[in-house]
Amino acid sequence: MKTRVGVLYGGKSPEHQVSLSTAMAVMNAIDPHKFDVIPIYITPEGQWIKGEQLTGPIEEIKQLQFTSAATALIPVSLNQVPAADSAAGGNEETIDVIFPLLHGPNGEDGTVQGLLEILNIPYVGNGVLASAVGMDKVMMKNLFAQAGLRQAKYIAVTKYDWQKRGETVYDRIERELGYPCFVKPANAGSSVGISKCKQRGDLKAAFIEAFQYDRKIIIEEAIVGREIEIGVIGNDEPICSVVGEIVPKKEFYDYEAKYEDGQTELIIPADVTKEQYETIKQMAITAFQALDLSGLARVDFFLAEDGAVYINEVNTMPGFTPYSMFPLLWQHSGVPYPELIERLIALALERHQEKQTITYTFKKEKR
Residue 131 annotated to the active site: no
275 is in an annotated binding site: no
- C-alpha distances (whole Å) from 55 to each of 42, 70, 72, 84 are 21, 21, 20, 10
What letter represents residue 158's amino acid?
Answer: T
183 is in an annotated binding site: yes
Q: How far apart are CA 194 and CA 254, in angstroms?
A: 7
What letter represents residue 40's amino acid?
Answer: I
Task: Please name the helix (run of DSSP H) or strand (run of DSSP E) that holds residue 183, with its range, or none.
Answer: strand 181-185
Residue 190 annotated to the active site: yes
Q: Using only C-alpha atoms, what is the Rg of the chain?
A: 21
Catalytic residue selected from 21, 131, 190, 241: 190
End-to-end CA, the chain: 48
225 is in an annotated binding site: yes
182 is in an annotated binding site: yes
190 is in an annotated binding site: yes
Task: Please name the helix (run of DSSP H) or strand (run of DSSP E) that holds residue 210, with its range, or none.
Answer: helix 200-210
205 is in an annotated binding site: no
Residue 21 annotated to the active site: no
209 is in an annotated binding site: no
175 is in an annotated binding site: no
226 is in an annotated binding site: yes
Alpha helix segments (H runs only) across 97-158? 111-119, 128-135, 137-146
Q: How far apart are CA 37 and CA 52, in angstroms?
A: 9
313 is in an annotated binding site: yes
224 is in an annotated binding site: yes
235 is in an annotated binding site: no
300 is in an annotated binding site: yes
For residue 10, the cross-strand partners are: 42
> C-alpha angle with apex 91: 85 to 95, nearest 5 degrees?
85
CA 89 to chain centroid: 39
28 is in an annotated binding site: no
* DSSP three-state, residue 207: helix
220 is in an annotated binding site: yes
Q: Specify whether the CB–CB gap between 269 and 229 falls below 8 A.
A: no
| Closest listed residue to residue 229, CA positions, set 293, 171, 277 | 277
191 is in an annotated binding site: yes
Q: Specify whether the CB–CB gap between 148 and 118 falls below 8 A.
A: no
Q: Specify whether the CB–CB gap between 15 and 316 falls below 8 A.
A: no
Catalytic residue selected from 13, 15, 93, 294: 15
223 is in an annotated binding site: yes
Catalytic residue selected from 21, 241, 324, 333: 324
Q: How far apart are CA 165 and CA 277, in angstroms?
A: 43
Catalytically active residues are: 15, 190, 324
Binding residues for Mg(2+): 300, 313, 315
Binding residues: 137, 182-184, 190-191, 220-227, 300, 312-313, 315
